[in-house]
Amino acid sequence: MGNAESMESQLAVIRSRAAPARLPMPEPTELEERFSIALNSMNLPPDKVRLLRSYDSDKKWELICDQERFQVKNPPHTYIQKLRGFLDPAVTRKKFRRRVQESTQMLRELEISLRTNHIGWVREFLNEENRGLDVLVEYLSFAQYAVTFDGEQVEVGGEASSIDSPWSRSIEDLHGDAGLPSPSSSGPRAARHSISSAMVTRSNTLPSRRTLKNSRLVCKKDDVHVCVMCLRAVMNYQYGFNMVMSHPHAVNEIALSLNNRNPRTKALVLELLAAVCLVRGGHEIILLAFDNFKTVCSESMRFEKLMEHFKNEDDNIDFLVACMQFINIVVHSVEDMNFRVHLQYDFTKLNLDEHLERLKHTESDRLQVQIQAYLDNVFDVGTLLEDAETKTAALERVEELEENLGTMSARVLDVENEAMLKIVELEKQLMQTNKELDQIRVRTFRKMHHV
């Protein structure tokens, strides 16, 4: 994720749409200026840029002509106006039915434009004036609103209980949020705090019945899937990836797309979430997105619906592989061992271990690789507990031995002190004895001399 389309594919797209006519080559200075402009519009990595700069003048001019002949079919604001038209709450039901017939095709064209047009087009789509990412995220929320709303009503047992529905509050926050913070001025932590705060705020107003009915109409189409594909195309550029990361709703709405019934959509969503999880700060964003999912979808435990899908989609290998890969990344990309054990236990409580036991004889090599990767990196909590108990017992024994050593050291010191005192006393006695002996010798000598 975050890389540009390959140089070859971009050139192929440009040349396939280019006219055969060739213009006279300009002066070298102008040629280089126009060549630099063409390169900048292609969003190529540095090594590819160096390769193209090594071309001779004829090849450079050919590339310039191809690039300048390429005419974008529609400017970004065309798609944005259509998306906003689908989201207009004032539109009548009849008019909406007529408009929405072309929504999937329009989204497909937008995805192709985001994927194949030059980076200038993508930047224009995302700029402050067009706010294309905001519109895409809002449409995604609208398109999947009915699926989550209806699913929640089945869970809680009736429409009356939806007054305090987290999902109702979520779509109200999205639809009424005219002043979303600029991605450049809002970091991931602040953005996630923004949406978390929004989820807690209570609202006494429900989305209109018309919005719900319109969403039910849209959710029967492929709009959610193609909308997620559009977001993937945006995230293929580092600039777009960063905007999605810092957007207060984007990752949450992508995660909520797991409610879609299409396993291809769920697999695509998990691939995007895994990509976010692998970048700095992304792991926290993903966990917060699933906390939001838990609140919105009334889960009793985080990742509950993800595991339900994993258990129920046994015949869709692509989804199973994407799901297992995502679980591997979420659990095992954390450095802190205690946190890894905590995340692992989240999935253990959802019976992941038992389900992997049932899947261990799968014929899919790709799935087998992901399952084995999880098992190879899993922590045996029982062994860790035994190790902890052994360590505790060892530490207690060390403490006991240190205490005994301290007692013995004190006792040795006392004995040494007593011995020193005894030595001093004996030395005094020896000195006194020697003194008396000297006196006896002197007296004896005098007596002998006197005689």
Over residues 64-74, the pLDDT tens digits come to 877 666 545 68
Percent residues over pLDDT 70 in the chain: 74
Q: What pLDDT score was predicted for residue 306?
A: 96
The tokens describing 141, both together, are: 């929320």
Lowest mean pLDDT among 100-109, 228-237, 340-349, 367-376: 100-109
Gyration radius (Cα) of the chain, Å:
38
Average pLDDT value for residue range 251-255: 96
Q: Rounded CA gap, 433 and 381, in Å?
A: 76
Confidence of residue 191 (pLDDT cuts 50, 70, 90): very low
Tally DSSP H helices, then E strands, for the chain: 24, 0
Judge contact between 231 and 250, C-beta under 8 A: yes
Express each pLDDT in 118-137 by its tens digit: 888 999 999 999 999 999 99
Average pLDDT value for residue range 14-37: 70
3-state secondary structure of 223: helix
For residue 7, pLDDT beyond 60: no
For residue 368, pLDDT beyond 80: yes
Q: Rounded CA gap, 448 and 451, in Å?
A: 5
Looking at the whole model, is its pTM more than 0.75?
Answer: no
Q: Who has greater pLDDT, 408 or 41?
A: 408
Q: Rounded CA gap, 285 and 248, in Å?
A: 10
Lowest mean pLDDT among 299-308, 396-405, 420-429: 396-405
In the block, tokens 């035994």 appear at 386
Could you give the angle at which helices 7-16 and 57-69 cross, rounded to 10 degrees?
A: 60
Separation of CA 321 from chain center:
18
Q: Rounded CA gap, 418 and 424, in Å?
A: 10
For residue 56, pLDDT beyond 60: yes
Within the chain, which residue ranges are assigned CATH 1.25.10?
76-298
For residue 168, pLDDT beyond 90: no
Percent residues over pLDDT 90 in the chain: 39
For residue 154, pLDDT beyond 50: no
Could you give the angle at which helices 238-246 and 132-143 cross, rounded to 10 degrees?
A: 60
Q: What pLDDT score was predicted for residue 447?
A: 80
A 10 A CB-CB count for 196 gives 15
Average pLDDT value for residue range 7-22: 49
Per DSSP, the residues of 306-366 read HHHHHHH-TT-HHHHHHHHHHHHHHHHT---HHHHHHHHHHHHHTTHHHHHHHHTT-S-HH
Burial of 106 (0-12, 13-18, 19+ CB in 10 A): buried
The tokens describing 153, both together, are: 């009503």
Kindly report the CATH class assigned to 76-298: mainly alpha
Per DSSP, the residues of 280-293 read TTHHHHHHHHHHHH
Judge contact between 300 and 313, C-beta under 8 A: no
